[in-house]
Amino acid sequence: HEADAYRTDLMTITRFVLNEQSKYPESRGDFTILLSNIVLGCKFVCSAVNKGEEQKKLDVLSNDVFVKALVSSGRTSVLVSEEDEEATFVESSKRGKYCVVFDPLDGSSNIDCGVSIGTIFGIYTMEHSDEPTIEDVLKPGNEMVAAGYCMYGSSCMLVLSTGTGVHGFTLDPSLGEFILTHPDIKIPNKGNIYSVNEGNAQNWDGPTTKYVERCKYPKDGSPAKSLRYVGSMVADVHRTLLYGGIFLYPADKKSPNGKLRVLYEVFPMAFLMEQAGGQAFTGKKRALDLVPKKIHERSPIFLGSYDDVEEIKALMVADV
Ligand code: AHM
Ligand code: MG
């Protein structure tokens, strides 16, 4: 009857977050309200993806929905979206204590062939009540209070951390609710998958080349790793989180800072990885310790299982 209890005691994402927040006596439900607006955006994108909306429309639509939902929540002051060159400063009557950085629809080149895409988000708090400035979001990832992503794949799944582990919720379309299906996700310490765009190999640096070579021809007698690369960060990171292994978007000669954006791609995924027991490294340091100078800044990233990231770290350190 345990399975039945599980099926009838529905842990929605709202209930889950309310439970978590009740540990803080000063909590007044602001975070729950903010999150429910993010959830609304995710449900919208999920339904639009399922309707087969074409790429151009879907990009713009998703961004509009998230910006409007976040502003109307009354809980935000600064928003940074991949789709908007400038940050959005919320008008004073609608301001609140949170700042949200997000990529409303990541992996959009995959839309028109039906491959998984996702939304990525990170949340900061304002520490003051002055006029919000861009400095309120140019903060290291270790200051985020929450991060997550929603994957629009064979099912729609939202993975969230508020700093107390990583929890996965699956959208039940008949209820229109995200239900806790993957409590306390931990990434395996070591994995047997590597995930990278190997088409860029001719432009990689020494340590990256050596690392990928070792994935294919291990020196210690362990089996070779499998290569999996969707080309949607959310899908590639989601698989890495559940199965273990490593995801990398390294620097190369053409893109010395890699491709992925610090604020709304690297930081949220690094936050989740660490919360799940893995690591995220830039090639020089812990990813969450980066301090971005611009909102759309990029950084190389190596993230995943603890031991796998440890290996690339050793190669990078040996190289300098
Ligand atoms: P996008 O924000 O323009 O969609 O680009 C980000 C995506 C990530 O989802 C993915 O990890 C990466 O680009 C793939 O890049 P590439 O096609 O160079 O391998
Ligand atoms: Mg993106």
- For residue 218, what are its two tokens? 């291990």
Per-residue pLDDT tens over the stretch 134-160: 999 999 999 999 999 999 999 999 999
Rg, C-alpha atoms of the chain: 19
| Residue % of the chain over a pLDDT of 90 | 85
Q: Is 196 helix (H, G, I), strand (E, B) or coil?
A: coil
Starting at the earlier edge strand, list the strands of the sheet with 76-81.
Answer: 88-89, 76-81, 95-106, 117-125, 146-152, 156-161, 167-172, 177-182
Question: What average pLDDT does this structure show over 288-306?
Answer: 98
Question: What average pLDDT does this structure show over 266-281?
Answer: 98
Mutational pocket test of ligand 1: of 113, 232, 257, the residue with most ligand atoms within 8 Å of the beta carbon: 232
- Mean pLDDT, the chain, rounded, equals 95
Per-residue model confidence (pLDDT) at position 27: 76
Q: Which ligand places an atom closest to the C-alpha of 233?
A: 1
> How far lies 17's CA from each of 79, 148, 314, in Å?
22, 13, 38
Q: Is 235 helix (H, G, I), strand (E, B) or coil?
A: helix
- For residue 231, what are its two tokens? 């080309």
| CA nearest ligand 1 atom 6, residue | 107
Q: Which ligand places an atom closest to the C-alpha of 262?
A: 2
* Per-residue pLDDT band at 207 (split at 50, 70, 90): very high
Using the atom order of ligand 1, give the atom closest to the CA of residue 249. 11
- For residue 85, what are its two tokens? 């060159």
Per-residue model confidence (pLDDT) at position 6: 67
* Per-residue pLDDT band at 57 (split at 50, 70, 90): confident
Question: What average pLDDT does this structure show over 45-56?
Answer: 87
Higher pLDDT, 194 or 20: 194
Per-residue model confidence (pLDDT) at position 224: 97
| Residue % of the chain over a pLDDT of 70 | 98
Per-residue model confidence (pLDDT) at position 129: 81
- Considering only CA atoms, which of 154, 313, 317 is closest in space to residue 239? 154
What is the C-alpha to C-alpha distance for residues 40 and 121, in angstroms, rounded to an integer? 13
Residue 26 pLDDT exceeds 90:
no
| CA nearest ligand 1 atom 15, residue | 231
Q: Which residues contact 141 (CB under 8 A, 6 or more apart)?
A: 122, 262, 266, 267, 268, 270, 271, 287, 288, 289, 290
Per-residue model confidence (pLDDT) at position 1: 66
Q: Tell me the sheet residues that pair with 15.
A: none
Question: What average pLDDT does this structure show over 60-68?
Answer: 96
| CA nearest ligand 1 atom 2, residue | 106
Question: What average pLDDT does this structure show over 91-100?
Answer: 96
Q: How far is the CA of 231 from the centre of ligand 2 (A)?
A: 11
Per-residue model confidence (pLDDT) at position 2: 67
Per-residue model confidence (pLDDT) at position 238: 98
